[in-house]
A and B are shown apart, each in its own frame.
Chain A
Amino acid sequence: MVKVTYVAADGTETIVDADEGSTVMQTALDNSVDGIVGECGGAMMCATCHCYVDDAWSDKTGPRQDGEDDMLECAADAVKPSSRLSCQIKLTDALDGLVVHLPQDQV
């Protein structure tokens, strides 16, 4: 199990136990975390699973995937250096305790 904390735009925190191998997006959907839509199911085609990786974790989540930059341009909210598509962050042991911040809007 990997612990993930989702911080909504209004500051509300949701902490869930995720399965290793799942993604930050899928874990949010499986646990009914508001603020992640993930409409394309992880195909990197909709930019509705946008999140900001907490500064303390950006080294561990690594760089954006090939093509992720382009799709992030389609995000509804502001894109920052910490922006990621949460469908592209795969959960491993090393990410136990991960904190991601959610944007105001996904669509």
Chain B
Amino acid sequence: MPLAPVNTDVGMNQLTRDPYPIYRRMRRDTPVVRVEGVKRTFLTKAAHTKRVKDTPELFSSNDPNTPMQPAFRAHTLMRKDGDEHRRERMAMQMAYTPKVIKANWAQIYRDITDEYLSRLKKGDTVDLFREICGPVSARILVHILGLDGATDEQMMRWSQELIDGAGNFGWDPELFRITERANDEMDAHFGSLIDHHKANPNASALSLMVNAENPIPDSQIYANMKIAIGGGINEPRDAMATIIYGLLTSPEQLEEVRRQEAWGMAFEEGVRWVAPIQASSRLVLEDTEIGGFDIPKGDTVMTIQASANRDEDLFEDGENFVVFRDKNPHQAFGSGPHHCAGAHIARRTVGEIMIPALFDRFPNMRLPDPDAVRWRGFGFRGPVNLPVSLN
């Protein structure tokens, strides 16, 4: 079989600005394609992205030599396979279950959301992205993780700096200096809380991990906490902003969502339409083939779930935000062993609490100028501002 065709036109700048027209063309003309500008083989069809994620024996996450290692001061579970990954993941997974959320957190989340919303006044025009989406996500995460004392500003900065470091494929020393500082601060904060959690066991992730009968090493407890910070703020923030944008630019759909209380469906459609995590990479362990092309051992493939989520094979009118779909088999939370550990939390916090509370408090909220909303990102994507008139 031939090797995948090579694309020398597309680069990071275009992908960061607006990848969707590029992905649509790739799905049509070159669904499996080597993108020189990113040095990865892009997979843009849903069947291919799912197969890769579901076949870790062939497509490995295990790659200790990515910038994630220095950025997180650890070889994290995100970059491991098999039993080692499962053990580290299950050490914190129990903190993220629907049961724990319902029993311990749901009321706290409602109170947090209400508190932040109550700072806003009807009649004002505010940037919801900055005032609500980020800070509420950060505050909720402090509780889930057991990071008492961390400020919203710290949580948001740590999250962003970890992400920037993990994406530092240019190995820019300045970016690693920034992550070093963030790691010093996080390590000190985690360390200061361990005695507290040992003395007061609770349902938070840190407490669960330090009080486990057979705990994972401290280094991996810290690494897990950083993964949760890196993955637990920007993603719910971006999902929330995307869903609000979708609903405000489609008043008939908003009306119907309200009538049916179909907030869960609005959530699923938002993360399908613009997946907060758009792409993932996997190392190819053996010579194989995808979509009629040879994929050599040692290649790195990128599953573009952003594109899989709009694949014409699965979705009608996939380019648009359409809440009431019969089926919505999106891959926004991935598939396989690395399926998002926070999926249940995201659905419950963003979908069941944050979005309904916002529309409940400001039922006549408007987005005066949808074109003023700027979208950004290749690996991670969402609006970077959301100026709405509250009413």
Q: Residues of A at under 8 Å CB distance from B?
A: 32, 39-43, 45-46, 67, 70-71, 73-76, 107
List residues of chain A with CB within 8 A of the CB of B121: none
Q: Residues of B at under 8 Å CB distance from A?
A: 50, 53-54, 56, 86, 89-90, 93-94, 96-99, 264, 327, 333-339, 341, 343-344, 347
Please state if B98 and A43 are interface contacts (CB–CB under 8 Å): no
A67 to B90, CA, bound (A): 9
Given contacts A39-B343, A40-B339, A107-B347, contact A73 B86 (CB under 8 A): no
Sample of 17 more A-B contacts, CB < 8 Å, known A73-B99, A74-B96: A39-B335, A40-B335, A40-B339, A41-B336, A41-B339, A43-B336, A43-B339, A45-B89, A45-B337, A45-B338, A45-B339, A70-B90, A70-B93, A74-B94, A76-B98, A107-B264, A107-B343
A70 to B327, CA, bound (A): 29
List residues of chain A with CB within 8 A of the CB of B98: 74-76
List residues of chain B with CB within 8 A of the CB of A70: 90, 93-94
Return the chain A residue nearest B89 by Cβ: A45
A-B contact count (CB 8 A): 54
Please state if A45 and B336 are interface contacts (CB–CB under 8 Å): yes
Return the chain B residue nearest A67 by Cβ: B86
List residues of chain B with CB within 8 A of the CB of A75: 98
Closest chain B CB from A8 CB (angstroms): 16
Given contacts A73-B99, A74-B97, contact A40 B336 (CB under 8 A): yes
A73 to B94, CA, bound (A): 7
A42 to B338, CA, bound (A): 11
CB<8 Å pairs between A and B, sample of 13 = A39-B333, A40-B334, A40-B336, A40-B337, A40-B339, A41-B53, A41-B339, A43-B56, A43-B335, A43-B339, A46-B339, A67-B90, A74-B94
A42 to B336, CA, bound (A): 7
Please state if B54 and A76 are interface contacts (CB–CB under 8 Å): no
Which DSSP category, helix, strand, loop or mixed, fits chain A's interface? loop
A38 to B17, CA, bound (A): 33
Return the chain B residue nearest A72 by Cβ: B97
Please state if B93 and A41 are interface contacts (CB–CB under 8 Å): no
Return the chain B residue nearest A48 by Cβ: B343
List residues of chain A with CB within 8 A of the CB of B347: 107
A77 to B107, CA, bound (A): 19
A31 to B99, CA, bound (A): 30
Closest 8 interchain pairs by CB?
A: A40-B339, A41-B54, A41-B335, A43-B337, A74-B97, A45-B339, A76-B98, A43-B336
Partner of B344, one of A32, A41, A42, A107: A107
Closest chain A CB from B341 CB (angstroms): 8
Given contacts A70-B93, A73-B94, contact A39 B339 (CB under 8 A): yes
Please state if B50 and A46 are interface contacts (CB–CB under 8 Å): no
A46 to B94, CA, bound (A): 12
Closest chain A CB from B349 CB (angstroms): 13
Closest chain B CB from A86 CB (angstroms): 16
A76 to B344, CA, bound (A): 8
Given contacts A74-B98, A76-B98, A107-B344, contact A43 B93 (CB under 8 A): no
List residues of chain A with CB within 8 A of the CB of B341: 45
Closest chain B CB from A93 CB (angstroms): 26
Most buried by B among A32, A39, A75: A39
Closest chain B CB from A96 CB (angstroms): 27
List residues of chain A with CB within 8 A of the CB of B264: 107
A74 to B96, CA, bound (A): 8
Closest chain A CB from B203 CB (angstroms): 12
Partner of A42, one of B54, B93, B97: B54
List residues of chain A with CB within 8 A of the CB of B339: 39-41, 43, 45-46
A39 to B331, CA, bound (A): 8
Most buried by B among A40, A67, A70, A75: A40
Most buried by B among A32, A43, A45, A74: A45
List residues of chain B with CB within 8 A of the CB of A32: 327
A70 to B93, CA, bound (A): 9
Please state if B344 and A43 are interface contacts (CB–CB under 8 Å): no
Closest chain A CB from B337 CB (angstroms): 4
A46 to B327, CA, bound (A): 19
Please state if A43 and B54 are interface contacts (CB–CB under 8 Å): yes
List residues of chain B with CB within 8 A of the CB of A107: 264, 343-344, 347
